[in-house]
A = this chain, B = another copy of it.
Amino acid sequence: MALPIAVNAMGGDNAPAAIVEGALRARTDGIDVMLVGRREQIEPLLGGAPVEVIDAREVVEMHEHPATAVRAKRDSSILRAAELVAAGRAGGVISAGNSGATLAAALFAIKRIAGVARPAIGASFPSEAGQTFVLDVGANTDCKAEWLAQFALMGDVYAREMLGIDQPRIALLSNGEEAEKGSELVQAAHPLIAALPLRFAGNIEGKDIFRGACDVVVTDGFTGNAVLKVAEGVGEFLFASISREARASLSGRIGGALLKPRLRPLRDRIDYRKTGGALLLGVAGEVVIAHGRSDAEATLNAIRVAARAQERGVSSVITRAMSTAPSAQPAQPTGVSA
- Chain A interface residues (CB < 8 Å from chain B): 126-128, 138, 141-142, 173, 175, 182-184, 186, 205-211, 219, 221-223, 225-238, 240-242, 245-246, 248-249, 251-252, 254-260, 262-263, 266, 270, 338
Let me know if B241 and A266 touch, CB within 8 A.
Answer: yes
Which residues of chain B come closer than 8 Å to A255, judged between CB atoms? 254-260, 262
What residues of chain B lie closer than 8 Å to A225, measured between beta carbons?
A: 175, 205-206
Asked if B251 and A266 sit within 8 Å, CB to CB, the answer is: no
Residues B257 and A229 in contact, CB atoms below 8 Å apart:
no
In the complex, 15 of the A-B residue pairs with CB atoms within 8 angstroms, ordered by the A residue number, are: A128-B240, A186-B222, A206-B229, A206-B230, A207-B230, A207-B236, A209-B230, A210-B236, A231-B234, A234-B234, A242-B266, A245-B259, A245-B266, A251-B258, A255-B258
Task: Determine the chain B residues whose CB is within 8 A of the CB of A270 once the complex forms.
Answer: 234, 237-238
In Å, the complex CA distance between A223 and B209 comes to 15
Q: A175-B226, A226-B175, A259-B256 are in contact. Are A235 and B233 (CB under 8 A)?
A: no
Q: Tell me the interface secondary structure of chain A in the complex.
A: helix
| Cα–Cα, bound, A230→B233 (Å) | 11
Q: How far is the CB of A93 from chain B (nearest CB, A)?
A: 23
Candidates B141, B219, B238; contact of A235 at CB < 8 Å: B238
Evaluate whether A266 and B248 lie within 8 angstroms (CB atoms) in the complex, with A229-B206, A255-B254 already known.
no
| Cα separation A194 to B263 with both chains bound (whole Å) | 42
Given A259-B246, A263-B245, A207 and B183 contact (CB-CB distance below 8 Å): no
Is A210 touching B234 in the complex (CB atoms < 8 A)? yes
CB-CB under 8 A from A211, the residues of chain B are 233, 236-237
Across the interface, do A183 and B142 meet the contact criterion of CB distance under 8 Å? yes
Given contacts A205-B226, A242-B266, A259-B259, 13 further A-B contacts (CB under 8 A): A175-B221, A207-B233, A207-B236, A210-B236, A211-B236, A219-B226, A226-B230, A231-B234, A235-B238, A242-B263, A245-B262, A254-B254, A258-B258
B142 touches A237 (CB 8 A): no
Residues of chain B lying within 8 A (CB to CB) of residue A233: 206-211
A237 engages B210 (CB within 8 Å): yes
Kindly report which residue of chain B lies nearest to residue A248, judged by CB atoms.
B262
How distant is the Cα of A186 from the Cα of B207 in the complex, in angstroms? 24
Cα–Cα distance between A126 and B234 once the two chains are bound (Å): 9
Residue among A141, A183, A222, A245 with most chain B CB within 10 A: A222
Q: CB-CB < 8 A to A208: which residues of B? A: 229, 233
A298 CB → nearest B CB, Å = 17
Contacts of A246 in B (CB 8 A): 259, 262
Q: Which residues of B contact A219 (CB under 8 A)?
A: 226
